[in-house]
């Protein structure tokens, strides 16, 4: 953990310096002053240096570790000027919608299963009783296994 922090701090400082250089460039472009061409040139060179440093630090930090994958949708939203929190909010809302759809589908499957069992019980009551007994045993075994796993986890 300390190694991660040691690698992270220089990268954060390089990012901060790059953002400061971007702010300097923005100021030089939006409010041109006499001699600002020279300042702009130095700011761009400083930005380039900081971006190279960030790339080097990133490569060092990721050596031997899995790389972070950023969703393309997030990058597209950022390019369009959206706030990253809006991406997170939209992702959570989409997940909630999918969850609701899955619950609805699960409910419909359960209703179909119950309807099939009722129909089968009318046609072959003994087989359905046998099936329900086996299903009950399987459910009890699964619950016991889950309880044992939870007890070991605590």
Q: What's phi and psi for 32, nearest 5 deg?
A: -65, 135
Note whether 55 and 88 are same-domain residues.
no
| Furthest-apart CA atoms within the chain: distance in Å | 96
Note whether 20 and 61 are same-domain residues.
yes
Note whether 109 and 55 are same-domain residues.
no
Whether residue 62 has pLDDT greater than 80: no
106-to-97, 99, 133 alpha-carbon distances in Å:
14, 10, 23
What integer pLDDT is reported at residue 2 of this predicted model? 55
Q: What torsion, rounded to 10 degrees, do the Cα atoms 52, 54, 57, 61 define?
A: -140
Note whether 57 and 30 are same-domain residues.
yes
Q: Is the pTM of this model over 0.75?
A: no
Note whether 7 and 64 are same-domain residues.
yes
Note whether 77 and 37 are same-domain residues.
no
Range of the domain at 93: 71-123
Higher pLDDT among residues 102 and 153, named by residue = 102
Higher pLDDT among residues 14 and 3, named by residue = 14
Note whether 39 and 93 are same-domain residues.
no
pLDDT in tens, 6-23: 667 777 888 888 888 888
Higher pLDDT among residues 86 and 111, named by residue = 111
29-38: b or e for each residue (b if 16 or more CB lie within 10 Å)? eeeeeeeeee
- Mean pLDDT value of segment 64-92: 81
User: Based on the structure, what is the number of domains in the chain?
Assistant: 3
What integer pLDDT is reported at residue 99 of this predicted model? 93
Average pLDDT, the chain: 82
Question: Residue 68 gets which letter from DSSP?
Answer: P
What's the CA angle centered on 35, arms 30 and 41, to 5 degrees? 70
Note whether 56 and 20 are same-domain residues.
yes
Q: Residue 43: how many CB atoms within 10 A of its CB? A: 21
Pick the last residue of a domain from 45, 68, 91: 68
Whether residue 154 has pLDDT greater than 70: no
Note whether 63 and 75 are same-domain residues.
no
C-alpha to C-alpha distance for 24 and 49, rounded to whole angstroms:
15
C-alpha to C-alpha distance for 79 and 101, rounded to whole angstroms:
31
54: which residues sit within 8 A by CB, 6+ positions away?
Answer: 11, 14, 15, 18
Note whether 141 and 95 are same-domain residues.
no
Note whether 93 and 112 are same-domain residues.
yes
What integer pLDDT is reported at residue 115 of this predicted model? 93
Note whether 55 and 78 are same-domain residues.
no
């Amino acid at each position: 953990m300390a190694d991660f922090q040691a690698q992270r701090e220089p990268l954060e400082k390089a990012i901060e310096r790059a953002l400061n250089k971007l702010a300097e460039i923005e100021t030089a472009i939006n409010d041109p002053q006499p001699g600002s061409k020279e300042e702009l040139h130095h700011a761009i060179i400083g930005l380039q240096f900081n971006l190279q440093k960030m790339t080097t630090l990133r490569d060092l930090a990721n050596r031997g570790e899995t790389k972070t994958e950023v969703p393309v949708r997030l990058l597209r939203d950022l390019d369009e000027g959206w706030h990253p929190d809006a991406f997170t909010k939209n992702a959570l809302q989409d997940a909630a919608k999918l969850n609701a759809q899955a619950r609805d589908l699960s409910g419909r499957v359960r209703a179909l299963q119950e309807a099939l069992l009722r129909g089968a019980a009318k046609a072959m009551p003994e087989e359905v009783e046998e099936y329900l007994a086996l299903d009950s045993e399987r459910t009890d075994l699964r619950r016991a296994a889950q309880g044992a796993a939870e007890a070991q986890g605590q």
